[in-house]
Chains A and B, each alone.
Chain A
Amino acid sequence: MSTPSLMATAAPRPERIAHALVRDVALPGGAGTLALVTVDNGLDHTKPTTLGPAGLAELHRALLTQQHRAVAGEIVAVGVTGKPYYLAAGADLSAVTAISAESDARRVAEAGHTTYRLLGEMGVPTFAYVNGAALGGGLELALHCTYRTVGADVGALALPEAFLGLIPGWGGCYLLPHLVGVRRALEVILTRPLAGNRMTKAAEALELGIVDAVFHPADFLEQSLAWTADVLAGRIVPVRAEIESQEEWDAVVAGARAQLDQRLHGAKTAPYRALALVAAARTADRDSAFAAEDDALTELIMSDQLRAGLYAFDLTSRRARTPAGAPPAELARPVRSVGIVGAGLMAGQLAVLIARRLRVPVVMRDIDDARVAAGLAGIRSQVERQAAKGRMSPDEANRVLASISVSTDLSTLAGADLVIEAVTEVLALKQRVFAELEGVIADDAVLATNTSALSVTAMSAHLRHPERVVGIHFFNPVAQMPLIEVVRTASSTDAAVATAFALAKQLGKTAVGVADRPGFVVNRLLLRLLAEVAAAVEGGTPVRTADVALRPLGLPMGPFALIQLVGLPVALHVLDALHDELGDRYPLSPGLERLATQGRRLVPEPDGHGADLEVDPTIQDAFDKPDGSGALDEAGVLDAVLGGLTEEIGLMLDEGVVDSPDQIDLCMILGANWPLHLGGISPYLDRAGYSERGLGRRLLPRGVADVPAAG
């Protein structure tokens, strides 16, 4: 079960009932009558079909009727398909957020099994015609059928439950491993969901054995029905792979568990529950396997991890489409040309992204010929790399390269409607760049800075038109990271801010409006976390203890690996800036500075297999000998970090960096890849009691991102 885009965290919307429409179809060649069930919520393709209680009840009635007809010999088969572009996008989880009683959670689990299992108990063969997206409970609907066909154009087959904090609990954990074996089942149930919720395409699904046949979309249903007649007549016998032996099965499960541990360290419950069900599937009988799924689903639906996951998913999908605090979009200045000051690595990434998505000329400027040449070469190799990987067509590569120009002449930026500075993070330098630009660009052109920690206000203080300055904070790597922090100063006009939001939207990014406070949101919190860890180490905590202390959170990487990723000098630079602005909450770390001076790595080189990078224990020598007095244990470090984050969030909300904690969560999920099961961070701080203890209040009301109070 799952559902993209359909969950509300406030009052659940009424169920969009999926109707089960049944029509008899005369199979080709006089093969008999097939009862064709179309699952359709009666709405257009922007409202995917999902299955809620009323929809399942309707499907249940329809399938029961077909079961009786099959017994009576009226039909020779049952088919299930969906409205155009969707088989079904899974369970309707919008009502799940309101469930406070375990019995209601169990009803959700059982309703799926009770309905779907009829497809395996029909008395005649059943066929799923997967004409469109089949996600979660949608794919499980197909898995319950005897046979499956899929349209060649279908790109979204998935069991994304583990991604959200659930399990495929309407039969998926039992049926899929029986169909395709444990190795392939775990690929679909665990690996892909946990790898950025990757979808499976039709051709891959055939290869994996999830479906029996792929047909061209132009006459998918017709050919599926012809194929059905062939299968019924025995002219076609779909081949199923043999599943692994018990020994191999167990070994695959053990390997998967080791991988989960390495990645999650037990922090997220759902993947482990799914793995346990798959592990048992080989020998379990259908009834007990489905009952075990019911138990697991009930438990997970009643878990705060899932509720936080649903909150976070809704935040990053549906709610991110209308950014909080954005001025009316029509105030945005049309951008027909973009200037970029600086031609370094990040500037080059920005230029390529903007040229690709905005399809406007991008004019870049750097200070000398060597940098101009290096910038151009970097852009060319970036584009060629993407073209070689097939991510850009040759025509588009030509277009992008032709639309980017780099020179040393500032006056080439004169015609730009928007100029972004991406020079070194030195305030005086940025001030000078802005001042020079003012003499060149139009009075109403928007000036933006890509600074990550400097004050935008200070940068624009001496300008004639400070009101046109905004911060547009991109994250590295620019092409992949989905977040942009739009920084508004006290004098920024709505037009300038709206232009930044419009740019973000055109670039396909989610924008969050933030006030001009040091580090904005993501860097301020990440650095607070790192500062707490560094302080613990400076205080005598062993680096190894500090490194593993945060594992119970399930963050994407440990603190030292994060510093290594950002780059130690960059991290220290930002820490320095935050220390200056925010004081001792961001203490400097002499040990880290020593390591930077020595140019040492904090973690080993990546092994290429995505394994967690643990701190190099030899860096311990950069820190003063622990005297024992200030040393923390793992729990102590974790507590210090969470307490620090809570304090910082409280201050950020007081300062009005953003209007509400959910905006902080949105930033941390998209900008720092913090996990869904924490809901970003606020839901976790609430449920772990930190916000009550540290701030004297919850960050989010009960029930928004956790299980609501009963009654």
Chain B
Amino acid sequence: MPSASPRTVRPVVFVEGVRTPFGRARPDGLYAGTRADDLAVKTVRELLRRHPELPPERIDEVAFAATTQTGDQGLTLGRTVAILAGLPQSVPGYAIDRMCAGAMTAVTTTASGIGVGALDVTLAGGVEHMGRHPMGVGAEPNPRFVAERLVSADALNMGNTAENLHDRFPALTRDRADAFGVASQAKYATALAAGQITPDLVAVGLRDPERGWGLATADEPPRPGTRLDDVRNLATPFRAGGRVTAATSAPLTDGAAACLLAAEDTAEELGLGARMRLVSFAYAGVDPAVMGIGPVPATHRALQRAGLAIEDIGLFEINEAFAVQVLSFLDAFGIADDDPRVNPYGGAIAVGHPLASSGVRLMTQLARQFAERTDVRYGITTMCVGLGQGGTVIWENPHHPDYEGYGSTAATIDGSAR
């Protein structure tokens, strides 16, 4: 009797990630005239261009996330993006949704497929055109949520949940949040000037019937030069007398990000390179009214599964949905507000947060920091998720001297230098 070949868990590497420049989700924003699926297509094509050594038919799955899967984000994004990007018909694809952690889930889900030996190479990403798909539009929450007090009414508004976090943890003051927001802008500006942002971007042609074609080459949301004085008196739109302002929230954003994942042995076979190796991941649920706390239990869980402690983590890419939500994480793990290990390039408060795409932006940035910081062995990417969740992925740095496996000799790869 023939028997199937034995299954072994295979290590998964993050080959490379790219993203579009992010645009403001406004009628006059960068991408007002650009379709969401087209944004996603640009990232896929850029990855293929950067990896001519990868035969496109070797891609086993294309998973693309969006929070609002209708219109130009509907019709099974992973499959439509694969077709539109010119991938062979034989490459399958699907759409995925875990709100803000969509792209992160696309990564962990296809990585799991690689892990069990079902897949060798995958494309995982996310897109959100919040200008075309404002948050929550078209959603029809079940009345039981409120009637049975399953979820408090204000848990569906993310700004309210941020205010709720301030309530729960009085130590999280507006002053701390303002300072964090200002620092995010400053760190982003510094990283941009140092050439740490642009190499991971793919330029996007901009169709505008009024102004003609243009080219997006840089992020639109950041507000460089923001000072504490500029933000101290900003309005608190989510609650009268509240603490959360535009300067301590991620702006509404349009953008897409995607990455290439591979089984470690396949990456070696094809010579794809490896910028990070997946160590562990975890998701956790929390009270939806304080969804921003989600990364805390998710990180505990991921650390536990990896057999690591928070002290082992040398770099943190945490999504800045709101400053208060990052601060709640830092407090929970006893990390200082201005710890240099945290979001060294700034975060979503500056660059923006196109919901389902942000997970891969975090990973792409962590990968670049790993190449810069060969002394760091482990880093995490983590984010909170609407309706009370958190997700964390722990990564290992192939450039670290103690790293064993494919990619340990990988040179710093710079997209712009190709």
Contact = CB atoms under 8 A, between A and B. Distances in A.
Q: Do A and B come from one complex?
A: yes
B231 interface: no
B214 A25 contact: yes
Interface residues of B, number: 22
B203 A36 contact: no
Interface string B24-40: 00000000000000100
B405 interface: no
A23 B210 CA distance: 11
Question: For B41, B42, B211, B214, which residue has the most chain A Cβ atoms within 10 angstroms?
Answer: B214
A219 B211 contact: no
Contacts of B213: 21, 23, 36, 38, 81, 221
A225 B204 CA distance: 11
B87 to A, nearest CB: 10
A219 B416 contact: no
A28 B85 CA distance: 21
Nearest to B38: A218
A220 B213 CA distance: 12
Contact of A23 (B38, B84, B203, B211): B211
Interface in B24-73: 38, 41-42, 45
Contacts of A83: 209
A42 B212 CA distance: 10
Contact of A218 (B85, B203, B209, B215): B85
Given A29-B416, A84-B207, A225-B203, A218 B212 contact: no
A454 to B, nearest CB: 52
A583 B214 CA distance: 70
B215 A225 contact: yes
Contacts of B45: 216, 218-219
A320 interface: no
B83 to A, nearest CB: 10
A26 interface: yes
A74 interface: no
A103 to B, nearest CB: 33
A654 interface: no
Contact of B203 (A37, A84, A222): A222
Contact of B217 (A28, A218, A220): A28
Contacts of A29: 416
Interface string A80-103: 010110000000000000000000
B85 A23 contact: no
Nearest to B213: A38
B74 interface: no
Main secondary structure of the interface of A (DSSP, over half): mixed
Interface in B403-418: 416
Interface string A15-51: 0000001110110110000001110101000000000
A86 to B, nearest CB: 13
Contact of A222 (B42, B86, B416): B42
A439 B217 CA distance: 74
A197 B216 CA distance: 39
Contacts of A21: 208, 210-213
Given A26-B217, A29-B416, A216-B45, A222 B211 contact: no
Contacts of A23: 208, 211-214
Contacts, number: 58
A222 B203 CA distance: 6
Contacts of B202: 222
A36 B204 CA distance: 14
Nearest to A37: B212
Nearest to B210: A21
Contacts of A81: 213
A216 B49 CA distance: 12
Nearest to B42: A219
Interface string B8-27: 00000000000000000000
A36 B212 contact: yes
Interface in B183-222: 202-205, 207-215, 217
A381 B38 CA distance: 44
B67 to A, nearest CB: 24
Interface string B386-418: 000000000000000000000000000000100
A219 B205 contact: yes
Interface string A217-234: 011111001100000000
Contacts of A26: 215, 217
B86 A218 contact: yes
Nearest to A39: B212
Interface string A310-321: 000000000000
A221 B215 contact: yes
A626 to B, nearest CB: 70
A617 B220 CA distance: 80
Contacts of A40: 209, 212
Contacts of B38: 218
Interface in A683-709: none
A28 B49 CA distance: 15
Contacts of A221: 205, 213, 215
A349 B293 CA distance: 72
Interface string B80-92: 0000111000000
A21 B217 CA distance: 19
A219 B44 CA distance: 11
Given A83-B209, A84-B207, A219 B41 contact: yes
Interface string B268-305: 00000000000000000000000000000000000000
Nearest to B416: A29
A28 B203 contact: yes
Nearest to B44: A218
A216 B87 CA distance: 12
Nearest to A82: B213
A222 B209 contact: no
A37 B84 CA distance: 26
Contacts of B85: 218
Contacts of B86: 216, 218
Question: For B85, B209, B210, which residue has the most chain A Cβ atoms within 10 angstroms?
Answer: B209
A222 B84 contact: no
Question: For A22, A29, A225, which residue has the most chain B Cβ atoms within 10 angstroms?
Answer: A225
A395 to B, nearest CB: 15
Nearest to B215: A25
A642 B85 CA distance: 59
A81 B208 CA distance: 13
A124 B210 CA distance: 26
Nearest to A220: B205
Contacts of B416: 29
A218 B39 CA distance: 10
Contacts of B42: 218-219, 222
Nearest to A131: B213
A22 B210 CA distance: 10
Question: For B45, B204, B212, which residue has the most chain A Cβ atoms within 10 angstroms?
Answer: B212
Contacts of A42: 209
Contacts of B207: 84
Nearest to B85: A218
Contacts of B214: 23, 25, 36
A390 B58 CA distance: 29
Interface in A51-106: 81, 83-84
Interface of A: 21-23, 25-26, 28-29, 36-38, 40, 42, 81, 83-84, 216, 218-222, 225-226
Q: What 10 A-B pairs come out closest when comparing CB atoms?
A: A21-B212, A38-B212, A221-B205, A25-B215, A23-B214, A38-B213, A222-B203, A222-B205, A23-B212, A26-B217
21 contacts: A23-B214, A25-B214, A26-B217, A29-B416, A36-B212, A37-B212, A38-B213, A40-B209, A42-B209, A81-B213, A216-B86, A218-B84, A219-B41, A219-B42, A219-B45, A219-B205, A220-B205, A222-B202, A222-B204, A225-B205, A226-B203
Given A23-B214, A221-B205, A222-B205, 12 more contacts: A21-B213, A23-B211, A26-B217, A38-B213, A218-B38, A218-B45, A218-B84, A218-B85, A219-B205, A222-B42, A225-B215, A226-B203
Interface of B: 38, 41-42, 45, 84-86, 202-205, 207-215, 217, 416
